Amino acid sequence: MAKTVKLTPPLTDEDVLQLEIGDRVLVSGVIYTARDAAHKRLVDLLAAGKELPVDLQGQILYYVGPSPARPGRVIGAAGPTTAYRMDSYAPILMRLGLKAMIGKGKRDPAVIAAMQEHKAVYLGATGGAGALISQCIKEAQVVAFPDLGPEAVHRLVVADLPTIVINDCYGRDLYEVGVAEYRRAPAP
């Protein structure tokens, strides 16, 4: 039975172990943004033996490139981007303690295996709801790679950002389970 869980990073193994596919997760506190260009730079820094600009231990990365803020707003639309573009980088960042990723779409089997190994989860946010999601963002500040514009790494303070567990740390995939259950459902 799906449950609603409130999480505030930094996350622990225990936080992640309680989550199962289909659970609704309301995220509050500090999270960071990173899309593919930022992920590449993070991994390049690691390959060069340099320190990352943010500590990923217990952290959540939101795959988003927010639009500019209108006057009086903290941030513009902040809808999730497609996660598979980060799949080649995600296992490396999970080894550094990354505990959750927020995006949309399916993940590669290697990423799902890394989630099992490192006790991490993938949370889905609703695509096309960027304006609504932005209302959960209370503060936004660029903290790395400002030359990337919207793809820079932002530090966000969020309150009850709504997500759902798509991949848990047990190797389960909500997309696969949902399709299987739909196929078994009797016709109306």
Q: How far apart are CA 4 and CA 27, in angstroms?
A: 11
Pairing of strands 100-103, 121-124: parallel
Which residue numbers are catalytic? Answer: 39
3-class SS at 143? strand
Pairing outcome for strands 137-144 and 4-7: unpaired
The DSSP bridge partners found for residue 6 are: 26
SS3 content of the chain, % helix, strand, coil (to 5): 30, 25, 40
Q: Tell me the longest C-alpha to C-alpha distance in the chain.
A: 59
Q: Which residues have C-beta within 8 Å of that of residue 66, sequence separation ≥ 6?
A: 33, 75, 76, 77, 78, 130, 134, 140, 150, 154
What would the DSSP string read from start to end of 58-119?
Answer: T-EEE---PPPPPTT-S-S--PPPBGGGGTTTHHHHHHTT--EEEEBS---HHHHHHHHHHT
